[in-house]
Structure 1
Amino acid sequence: MAADSLFPNSLFCNNAPDLSKVNYLDVFSAFDEGIIISDATGKILFYNKAMGRIDDLTPEYALGKKATEIYDLTDKTSVIMQCIQKGEPVVNHTFFYRTRLGKVANTSVSVFPLYTGMRLFGAICYVRDYTVLEKTICSKFTPSTPYKSPAGTRYTFSDAIGKNSEFQGAIKSAKMACDTPSSIMLHGKTGTGKELFAQSIHSHSHRRKNQYIAINCAAIPENLLEGNLFGTARGAFTGAIERPGLFEQADGGTLFLDEVDSMPIGLQAKLLRALQEKKIRRVGSLKEISIDIKIISSVSTTPHESIKKGSLRNDLFYRLGVVLIRLPSLMERPEDLIELTWHFIRKNNRQLGTYVTKISSRVVEFFKNYNWPGNIRELEHIIEGAMNMVGRDDTLRTTHLSPHFSATPEFKKFTGIMSETAAPLFPDENSERRPNKTSITFPDDHRDPLEKLSEVQTESEKIIIFQALKACKGNVTQAAKRLGISRQLLNYKIKKYSFKRTNFTETVSDPGTS
């Protein structure tokens, strides 16, 4: 390559060295940008280390292979082959792909044809990696750790995802009660979102600029809990210092007493007095300190069960449960399951750099049939674990699920049924490419593609529930026991299939024959 071909301005090039003797491959090797040089067939002749860093490959692996082999492209979709076939440059082409290690690469590619005389002998490709820049920019606006307000909260009601009527009713009740001085008690099974609700209530209230403090009453030893709540006075016990408790620290704001029924009964009496008088005394002091706080508490059973067990004082419940809000379990919110699943997939896509855009039909069917004892917390845990295993796959599959989860009897039973009755509908889950009909497209279409199987399952369920209710003469409690499901779930199914309980003492046509 002569100097005058590089610098046509003869005035500029008068004293230029003979660039034909420059080893350009050494220059390209030192580039920060990726460089690929191919011959006229697309076979790679040069591949620098910067390109290897982008692709998670070594130059030794790439050399001698066609670009279409490395990037899983065809001659029509490869920009290198397009350039060679047309003999024209391809400039600033955006190329978004996954490396073999599952890393997302966001690149801008420019390819130029190489000629010797009039004969095209190859192409040179320049690749600029925007992934690092993208992560740097995103980190400014999407922190890796959730946003935490100065008041100590990171959740608002916009984080409460779901269309279930009872869940929406809980949100409405919480919003209505957030600005009153009355105490709120949240009750629901573990993992139903009580902490999220408590923080959202504070964030939605006029106290939002003041402190939100949460304490898990089950996590602190009994001998330390009183001092943590009410504070200590110097000399109250050996080594005691003047220290404000959580009540004082939360003054003007909100105090969340999680699992309040785990608090010792004796301490519950002191808590009751503090709530009644709106004053506290530090341990070892006679001085009373006025407090102005919103109290939110929670129990994982119903308050009445806690009172019956003797773990919650009746009179304390009257103070704490002025506004009582129940959070439904995930089993009672089947219409929200897929939306929550996608929420956690998107969250992990951002945090882990994955690009899952589909869910295997098998996963969807199993999620719909699993009883979720850990509720939303369990779903989030399962999704995060699976997302760590997807690698470069764009579909969440049963093979990605935690061994602990897939070892459950429910999973084994479900996969056994599926493989026996629906195996022809499912291709090998380890294959790289699958027909669209076996997956659910993200984000707009979450419908189950196996409509015929779903129809059969729905009709079978209707008949079984109908027969159980008929045998129990409309008694929902007895029918639920007979079916082995909760009363709440059976009520949901009755509503879903528009059954009328009063009709089960009369002659009713079988829904399966209608």
Structure 2
Amino acid sequence: MPFPEDSNSSGLLDIKNIDFLSVLNQLDDGVIIADITGTILFYNIAQSKIDNLAPEDVIGLKVTDIYELNNRTSMIMHVIYQHGSIKNRAFLYRTRSGKVANTITSAYPLFNQGAINGVICFVKDYELLYQSTSLTTITKTRADLGNGTQYTFADLIGSDPNFQRVVGMARKAASSPSPIMIQGETGTGKELFAQAIHNHSKRREQKYIVINCGAIPHGLLEGILFGTARGAFTGALDKPGLFETAHGSTLFLDELLAMPLDLQAKLLRVVQEKCIRRVGSAMETPVDVKIISSVSQDPRIAIRENRLRTDLFYRLGVVMIKLPPLRDRQDNMNELISHFIEKYNNSLGTNVTYISEEVLDLFTTYQWPGNVRELEHMIEGAMNMAGKEETIGIEHFTPGLDCLEQLDFACLETPFSMPKNPDDQKTEIPSKRLDPEGPYNFIQARSDQEKSAIKTALYATGGNVTTAAKYLGFSRQLLHYKIKKHGFCRGDFIQRSIK
């Protein structure tokens, strides 16, 4: 496609002609740009919402004219005089019209030929951030039970004995005040288990509180967990943290390993002493909180990698619940599939009843790195493609189906010695010295390896799909699918065998 005549036909981005201000005006964070005198030159829409001021009433005025700040207390003026950056500083200020804003602010000097000639300031609304961390991270796809949760043990799908054993452990632990640590790969249902435990406990009538430790900047996490006292830092207010909010209830610390080690030490003291001290306060407040935490890897490995304090593990891992990955729950596959089909029939208005054997065979050979969440994603996508059809087939997963084909043919071992493929002598083996202009793509290499293994098995068995599938280690339905995929004709292998 030819370039327009007035564009840069070289394909290089001309940064000088980019309208950066229009981009800044679309950000969710407030943005202020001021010159060396503190006069506001740019004031985006998000900042006008935070301050409740119109941009046209602000631009051209000095920062100290708009806000109840002086050259010492204004962050913009501080950067101008000190020539240094300010990052993620909690900052409370009041506009001249009386609006009070509680924010997280960063300010950076702007240079021209080595000399500072202005400041750019980014402002986050602290109240919005705080409120968002007080909500559960699960998408509200079903009714809230009235305590901030959506799930109970009845919603945990799977009759597999090992899975039911884990559910039984969680039920017993729910009645105890001792902390629980849930270990599981991504997508295994750690949040669902945490909610189910809360709803099976005596605290079920109280509000369930959850925070994702990896989603909050480290500088804010301490104040959000333990609260702040007025005067602790510039703009700090008396505000309870999540521990105080969760008094008498359950606090779920999701992604615990994302919490910095120094904050883990403060958390340890709270667990031991059962009281908290707000940031900047000397007063201690008793708290009665059932703590559930989650980790995505073996906590002992995290300890060796210096991501988890040993003493905190002993305190929070009093009861350890390890959730099995989906690849170890193959007996539950049909139950989970049926559950998700029913769920999305209701939400999408579809009428799917069955899933084809070919798809089921692919599902049972896949390792599911995303676990149950990935399975649900695949089912939902296929049902969107199925429309009014009753059966989900291979064709409904394209192109997402390619990710399911992860069989490692490089490690394939067969119980017999196969004769050489007659075409092998004609096959060109790629040189170990790869052409930099034509890289030998890994996906293509894996596909070629798969084709070679299938051809060898079909030659060895005279085109007998059942026997070839047995030697290859998967079902005949899956082999039929792959024969079609690679464009093979079974008759070619039968004729060669007869000759």
Query: Under TM normalisation by the shorter chain, which class is it?
Result: 0.5 to 0.7
Deviations 1:397-423 (A, max 9, x none): 122115244256528969969998999
Q: Do the aligned partners of 2:261 and 2:308 also contact (CA within 8 Å) in 1?
A: yes
Give yes or no for contact 2:183–2:190 (8 Å, CA) kept in 1: yes
Aligned to 1:209: 205
CA gap of 1:272–1:408, structure 2 versus 1, over 3 A, is same
The amino acid of 1:258's aligned partner reads D
Using the alignment, how far apart are the partners of 1:263 and 1:208 within structure 2? 27
Structure 1 pair 422–377 and aligned structure 2 pair: CA distance change class (3 A): farther
Partner of 1:225: 221
**CA distance 1:415–1:225, shift in 2 (3 Å):** same
Q: Quote the Cα distance in structure 1 between the aligned partners of 2:351 and 2:345.
A: 6
Helix, strand or coil for the counterpart of 1:175? helix
One-letter amino acid of the structure 1 residue matched with residue 219 of structure 2: N
CA distance in 2, matches of 1:455, 1:164: 31
Residue of structure 2 equivalent to 1:196: 192
Partners of 1:375 and 1:404 in 2: CA distance: 15
Task: In structure 2, list runs of 5 or more residues that go unmatched.
Answer: 1-139, 408-445, 459-463, 475-499
User: Among residues 305, 309, 333, which one is paired with 1:309 in the alignment?
Assistant: 305
Read off the aligned partner of 1:394 and give its amino acid letter.
Answer: E
DSSP-derived class of the 2:320 partner? strand
Extract unaligned runs of 5+ from structure 1.
1-143, 424-451, 463-514
Q: Does 1:337 align with 2:305?
A: no
- Which residues of 2 match residues 319-468 of structure 1 at below 5 A? 319-401=315-397, 403-406=399-402, 409-410=405-406
Q: For the Cα contact (< 8 Å) 1:184–1:324, is it kept in 2?
A: yes
- How far residue 232 of structure 1 moved from its aligned partner, in angstroms, is 1.0
Q: Is 1:385–1:402's contact at 8 Å kept on the other side of the alignment?
A: no
Superposed counterparts of 1:130-209, under 5 Å: 145-209=141-205
Q: CA deviation at 1:458?
A: 6.6
Work out whether residues 218 and 260 of structure 2, in 8 Å CA contact, stay in contact via their aligned partners in 1.
yes
| One-letter amino acid matched to 1:207 | R
Query: C-alpha displacement at 1:147, in angstroms?
Result: 1.6
- The residue type equivalent to 1:186 in the other structure is I
Q: In 1, Cα distance between the equivalents of 2:210 and 2:395? A: 38
Contact 1:183 1:296 (C-alpha < 8 Å) held by counterparts: yes
Are the equivalent residues in 2 in contact too, given 1:258–1:298 (CA < 8 A)? yes
Q: 1:414-439: CA deviations, max 9, x gaps?
A: 9969998999xxxxxxxxxxxxxxxx
Distance 1:369 1:347, change over 3 A: same
Displacement of 1:181: 1.0
**Cα distance, 1:274 vs. partner?**
0.2
Is the contact between residue 362 and residue 404 of structure 2 (CA under 8 Å) also seen in structure 1? no
The 1:262/1:380 distance shift into structure 2, 3 A limit, reads same
Counterpart residue identity of residue 256, structure 1: F
The alignment's TM-score, normalised by the length of structure 1, stands at: 0.53
Alignment partner, residue 256 of structure 2: 260
> Percent of aligned pairs with the same residue?
53
1:294 and 2:282 correspond: no
Distance 1:164 1:418, change over 3 A: farther
Say which SS state the counterpart of residue 243 (structure 1) adopts. Answer: coil
TM-score (norm 2): 0.55
> Partners of 1:173 and 1:205 in 2: how far apart?
13
Local SS of the residue matching 2:406: helix
| Alignment partners' CA distance in 2, 1:155 and 1:228 | 25
**Partner SS state of residue 209, structure 2:** strand
Give the superposition deviation at 1:341.
1.2
Q: Distance in 1 between matches of 2:197 and 2:321?
A: 12
- In our comparison, the structure showing a higher alpha carbon Rg is 1
Aligned to 1:248: 244
Distance in structure 2 (CA, Å) of the matches to 1:271 and 1:179: 23
Query: Which has the higher mean CA deviation after the structures are superposed, 405-414 or 218-227?
Result: 405-414
Kept in 2, the 8 Å contact 1:354–1:392? The answer is yes
Q: Distance in 2 between matches of 1:172 and 1:455?
A: 42
Residues 455/173 of structure 1: CA separation in 2 closer, same or farther (3 Å cut)? farther
Cα distance between partner residues in 1 of 2:468 and 2:322: 34
Q: Quote how far apart the aligned CAs of 1:166 are.
A: 1.9
For the 8 Å contact 2:366–2:405, the answer to whether it is kept is no
**Paired position in structure 1 for 2:442:** none
Which residue number in structure 1 is paired with residue 4 of structure 2?
A: none
Partners of 2:147 and 2:366 lie apart in 1 by: 38
Deviating beyond 3 angstroms after TM superposition, the runs of 4 or more aligned structure 1 residues are: 411-423, 452-462
Structure 2 vs 1, CA of residues 420 and 266 (structure 1 numbering), >3 Å: closer, same or farther? same
Q: Hey, what does 2:430 align to over in structure 1?
A: none
Distance in 1 (alpha carbons) for counterparts of 2:209 and 2:334 = 32
CA apart distance, 1:175: 0.5
Structure 2 CA distance for partners of 1:404 and 1:274, relative to 1, 3 Å: same
Letter of the 2:242 counterpart: L
Q: Which residue of 2 aligns with 1:283?
A: 279
CA distance in 2: counterparts of 1:374 and 1:461, whole angstroms: 24
CA distance in 2, matches of 1:454, 1:231: 66
1:359–1:396 contact (8 Å) kept in structure 2 = yes
